[in-house]
Amino acid sequence: MSGILDYETVELDDDDNCVIIIDQTKLPVAIEQRRLYCAEEIWNAIYLLQVRGAPAIGVAAALGIYVLAKGIETDDYQEFYNKFVRYKDYLNSSRPTAVNLLWALNRMEQICTGRQDKPIAAIKEALRREALAIKEEDIRVCRTIGQYGLTLLKPGDGILTHCNAGQLATCKYGTATAPIYLGQEKGYRFRVFADETRPLLQGARLTAYELLSAGVDVTLICDNMSAMVMKMGWIQAVLVGCDRVAANGDTANKIGTSVVAAVAQRYQVPFYVCAPTATIDLDTPDGEAIHIEERPAEEVTEMWYETRMAPEGIKVFNPAFDVTAHELITAIITEHGIARPPFSQSLRELKNPFPSAPGQF
């Protein structure tokens, strides 16, 4: 019987001209796949969190815009490019905080702009190859993040994570869970505590589900229990993902992450952010410049309840993310190395490629 880790988070069906995703809003009750054929379906899948997690969003956008470009019927480059850009701008409007979305779409656009003298069929083939390359890169990047992260951990460590930065947020391994999966392969026997992550419960529905499926020792806790487990000495490291890293090291991640970071500092627990270098946005100076998406009130008041659990007419503030100040972050783990303070210097160095081997700045 297949488990959740036997499914691909995002994949291309080139013969059927569609992107296939796991509908993560149905987990863990049911594993349902959706086929996305048109721009509106791809946009909705990203906005409605059917596909989520910064790396997976980027891959879905890359595969999606290839499918859309494939359907543009013209032999005129300018007409093709104009329609491509309209699709790109539309898909990019679905989620504003995760930088991977625009990063992937920009990479796809560069395929077009660099081939103005090529036949449209050749451009479409190049787009296909680039989209699949982005997916394969995500797998390599996550595994390498896991290798670097594992150098900071010891067998038997207790690890706290928040939201879902696991395989369901990427194409394989995850970012924050990559060290956990690699440690599982080596017999490290980590003890993982997963925050449920209100209000969308990604920790309960997704992280706890996939780690349990992988045989990891995982315990689900409510978000407001993190201080208790740290105080009891059960946590030796916090591992979280992120959707955007500012030039100064401030990071935007799922709402509640900054609270975990502050608690970790109080109890002297290392707080590590696991982030592909594609998530590093050197054009964003600090966390104040990151646009924070606000989600519908219904996610708080009624989404997970049989009956509404808040009074009618109540005002609701529902930001999807918060910003963790760089002062609270011990290190940022990327596929190119481990950045430590001062992040304004180490992050800039990591954006320049060099051979990867577990180590640190």
Q: What is the pLDDT of residue 207?
A: 98
pLDDT in tens, 27-44: 999 999 999 999 999 999
Q: How confident is the model at residue 2 (pLDDT cuts 50, 70, 90)?
A: low
Q: What is the pLDDT of residue 97?
A: 81
pLDDT in tens, 195-236: 999 999 999 999 999 999 999 999 999 999 999 999 999 999
Give, as one character, the DSSP assignment of residue 5.
Answer: G
Q: What is the pLDDT of residue 3?
A: 87
Q: How far is CA 205 from CA 31, 196, 294, 296, in A?
A: 12, 8, 21, 19
Task: List all residues 6 or more positions away from 26 whose beta carbon is below 8 Å from its beta carbon.
Answer: 32
Q: Over range 75-104, report the average pLDDT.
A: 94
Residue pair 14/20 in contact by the 8 Å Cβ criterion = no
CA neighbours closer than 13 Å in the CB half-sphere of residue 310: 12
Active site members: 243
263 three-class SS: helix
One-letter amino acid of 352: N
Q: What's the rounded Cα separation, in Å, for the pair 4 and 58?
A: 21
What does pTM read for this prediction? 0.92
pLDDT in tens, 153-211: 999 999 999 999 999 999 999 999 999 999 999 999 999 999 999 999 999 999 999 99
* DSSP element (H, E) containing 252: strand 251-254
Task: State the average pLDDT for the chain.
Answer: 95
Over 60: is that where the pLDDT of 359 sits? Answer: no
Over 60: is that where the pLDDT of 357 sits? Answer: no
Query: CA geometry: angle at 56 spanning 100 and 222, to 5°?
Result: 105
* DSSP element (H, E) containing 353: none
pLDDT in tens, 335-354: 999 999 999 999 999 987 54
Q: How far does Cα 40 stand from its chain's mean position?
A: 21
φ and ψ at residue 233, rounded to 5 degrees:
80, 20
